[in-house]
C-alpha cells in the first residue's frame, strides 16, 4: 500500500494554503518566537504603560517618546493596544496570522512564475531558512519577533503580487498600512514600485496614470509622515554627528563596510543575475532592480564618501532584501525551466519533505541563547516586580532585554531601545559610554561590542556606582555577583551569577 502524498506538481489554492501553514510551522520550530525581549523591549513596556500609566515613571526611553506627538512605533503600539496586546497570547496569534499570510504571499509570487510547487517550495526554503546568513546588513524579510516590520513587509509582498497581476489599485492601497506599520519599509517599496512602473513604459500618459493611482497613498500617508517629522525634537548641543551615533549603534544595518566581503560579493552576483534574468522575463521586476540599485549607489556615495546625515535617513541598505527575494525567485525559475525533467516528480517531492523534516532537527546546531542566563534574568525580574517600589529605577547588563518587560520597572538606559533622533541618541550614547564604555571607535575596529560591554560592566568601579546611586538616583543595580565589599551598595537578592544591589 503506497503512502499518499500532497500533489506538489500543480498549483492549486488548497495546496497553497496547506503548504503555507506547514512552512509556517517549520519556521516557528526552527527560529522560535521572541515576544518580550530583543527588539520587543521598545514595544512591550510602552504597551504596558498605555494600559497602566503608573508604570515606568523614570524610564529614559519611555520618558523621551512620551514627549513626541508621534514616533516610529506609534502605530504598532496603537494596533497592539486595540487588540488588547497586554495579553501576550493576542500578539502571538496576530504574529502567526502574519507569518501565514507572509508565506502565502511568497508562494503565490513564486507560483506566478513557476508552475510547480516543488520548485516553489525549494525557493521558500532558501528565503526562510538560508537567506538570513547571506544578507546585507543583517536585514531579513521576516523575524521571529512581532516587530512592526513584519506586518509592513507582509503587506509589501502582497502589494507586489497584486502589481504582478496588474491590480494596481489594490497594490498601492496595501502600501498605505504598510507605511503606517513601518514608515521606511512601506514608503521605500511604494517609491520603487511607482518608479518601476513608469520606467517600464515611459511616457507622459504613464506618469499621469501612476500619479492618479498614487493619490490615495499620498493623501493617506503624507499627513502621517509630516506629523512624525514635526514631532522630532531639537538636538542637544553636542559635537557628535548623528551619522557617527547611528554608525556606532546600527552601523551593521546601515553602513556597507560592516558587512563581510563574502556577503557583499554574493549580493553583487545576485544583483547582476537579477538584471540579466528579469530583463528577459519581466520588465517590471527588471526596472525594480534598476531603481533599487541606482538609489543604493546614491546612498553609498552620500553616506560613505560625503558623510551626509540626510542620506543615512534613507536607510536604503535595507532594500537589499527585495533583491535577495527577486534573485532567489529568478534562480528557482531558471532551474525549473532547464532542469525540471532531470528529477522525477515523486523524487523531488520526497526531497522537499526530507528538507522540511531536517530543518527543525538542525536547530540543535544553530547558535543558541544561554538558557541558564535567561532563567536568571527572568528570576531577577520577577523578584524585582514583587519586592521593589513601582517607581524604582534599575541599571542592568547590556544583554538583559527581557528584564524591563517582566519587572515593569524603569531603566536608566537600555542598549536596544532606539529613537532615530539626535536629541535622543546623544544622551543615550553618553549613558552607554558611562556604564559600558563602548563607542564608535570600537565599532570601527570591529570589536564585539556586546562582549566588551559585558566585560567593562562587570568591572564597574566605586566611582561609577556612586555616580549612579547618588547623582542619577538609580535605586538598584544588577551586577555579576561580587566577593569584595562595597562602600556604596549592598546586596538584596542573588541568583547563581547575578546580584541586585541597592544603596547602603
CA angle in degrees (0–180, nearest 5) for 323-326-328: 105
Q: Please, which residues have CB within 8 angstroms of residue 376's CB and are 6 or more apart in sequence? A: 495, 496, 497, 498
**C-beta separation of 466 from 503 below 8 A:** no
Low-confidence ranges of the chain (pLDDT < 70): 1-13, 234-240, 343-344
Question: Is residue 343 classed as helix, strand or coil in its secondary structure?
Answer: coil
Nearest-Å Rg of the Cα atoms of the chain is: 25
The helix (run of H) or strand (run of E) holding residue 121 is: helix 117-129
- HEC profile of 55-85: CCCCCHHHHHHCCCCCCCCHHHHHHHHHCCC
**CB-based contacts of 448-451 (< 8 A; 24+ apart in sequence):** 450/398, 450/399
C-alpha dist (Å) from residue 241 to 24, 234, 421: 42, 14, 11
pTM of the model: 0.94
- HEC profile of 443-480: HHCCCCHHHHHHHHHHCCCHHHHHHHHHHCCCCEEEEE
Residue 95 backbone phi and psi in degrees, to 5: -60, -45
The predicted-structure confidence for 430-476, as pLDDT tens digits, reads as follows: 999 999 999 999 999 999 999 999 999 999 999 999 999 999 999 99
**C-beta separation of 376 from 500 below 8 A:** no
pLDDT value, residue 239 = 56
Amino acid at each position: 500500500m503506497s503512502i499518499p502524498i500532497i500533489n506538489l506538481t500543480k498549483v492549486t489554492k488548497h495546496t497553497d494554503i496547506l503548504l503555507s501553514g506547514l512552512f509556517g510551522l517549520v519556521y516557528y520550530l526552527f527560529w522560535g518566537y521572541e515576544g518580550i525581549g530583543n527588539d520587543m523591549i521598545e514595544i512591550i513596556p510602552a504597551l504596558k504603560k498605555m494600559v497602566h500609566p503608573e508604570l515606568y515613571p523614570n524610564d529614559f526611553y519611555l520618558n523621551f517618546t512620551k514627549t513626541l506627538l508621534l514616533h516610529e512605533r506609534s502605530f504598532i503600539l496603537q494596533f497592539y493596544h486595540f487588540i488588547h496586546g497586554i495579553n501576550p497570547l493576542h500578539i502571538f496569534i496576530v504574529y502567526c496570522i502574519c507569518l501565514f499570510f507572509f508565506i502565502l504571499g511568497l508562494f503565490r509570487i513564486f507560483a506566478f512564475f513557476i508552475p510547480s510547487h516543488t520548485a516553489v517550495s525549494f525557493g521558500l526554503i532558501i528565503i526562510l531558512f538560508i537567506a538570513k546568513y547571506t544578507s546585507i546588513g543583517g536585514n531579513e524579510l521576516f523575524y521571529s519577533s512581532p516587530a512592526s516590520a513584519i506586518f509592513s513587509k507582509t503587506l509589501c509582498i502582497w502589494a507586489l503580487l497584486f502589481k504582478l497581476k496588474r491590480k494596481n489599485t489594490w497594490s498601492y492601497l496595501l502600501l498605505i498600512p504598510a507605511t503606517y506599520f513601518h514608515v521606511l519599509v512601506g514608503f521605500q517599496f511604494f517609491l520603487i514600485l511607482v518608479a518601476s512602473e513608469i520606467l517600464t513604459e515611459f511616457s507622459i500618459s504613464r506618469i499621469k496614470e501612476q500619479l492618479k493611482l498614487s493619490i490615495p497613498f499620498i493623501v493617506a500617508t503624507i499627513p502621517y509622515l509630516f506629523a512624525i517629522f514635526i514631532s522630532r525634537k531639537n538636538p542637544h548641543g553636542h559635537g557628535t554627528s548623528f551619522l557617527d551615533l547611528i554608525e556606532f549603534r546600527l552601523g551593521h544595518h546601515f553602513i556597507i563596510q560592516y558587512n563581510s566581503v563574502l556577503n557583499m560579493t554574493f549580493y553583487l552576483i545576485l544583483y547582476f543575475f537579477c538584471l540579466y534574468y528579469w530583463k528577459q522575463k519581466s520588465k517590471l521586476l527588471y526596472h525594480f532592480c534598476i531603481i533599487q540599485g541606482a538609489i543604493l549607489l546614491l546612498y553609498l556615495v552620500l553616506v560613505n564618501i560625503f558623510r551626509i546625515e540626510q542620506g543615512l535617513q534613507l536607510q536604503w541598505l535595507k532594500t537589499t532584501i527585495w533583491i535577495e527575494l527577486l534573485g532567489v525567485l529568478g534562480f528557482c525559475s531558471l532551474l525549473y525551466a532547464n532542469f525540471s525533467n532531470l528529477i522525477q516528480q515523486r523524487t523531488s517531492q520526497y526531497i522537499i519533505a526530507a528538507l522540511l523534516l531536517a530543518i527543525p532537527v538542525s536547530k540543535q546546531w544553530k547558535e543558541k541563547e544561554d538558557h541558564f542566563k535567561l532563567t536568571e534574568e527572568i528570576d531577577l525580574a520577577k523578584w524585582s516586580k514583587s519586592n521593589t517600589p513601582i517607581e524604582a529605577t534599575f541599571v542592568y547588563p547590556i544583554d538583559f532585554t527581557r528584564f524591563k518587560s517582566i519587572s515593569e520597572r524603569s531603566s536608566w538606559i537600555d542598549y536596544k531601545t532606539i529613537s532615530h533622533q539626535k536629541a535622543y541618541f546623544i544622551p543615550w550614547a553618553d549613558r552607554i559610554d558611562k556604564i559600558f564604555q563602548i563607542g564608535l571607535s570600537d565599532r570601527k575596529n570591529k570589536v564585539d561590542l556586546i562582549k566588551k560591554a559585558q566585560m567593562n560592566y562587570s568591572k564597574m568601579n566605586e566611582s561609577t556606582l556612586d555616580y549612579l546611586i547618588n547623582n542619577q538616583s538609580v535605586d538598584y543595580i544588577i551586577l555579576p555577583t561580587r566577593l569584595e565589599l562595597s562602600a556604596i551598595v549592598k546586596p538584596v537578592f542573588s541568583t547563581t551569577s547575578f546580584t541586585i544591589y541597592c544603596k547602603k
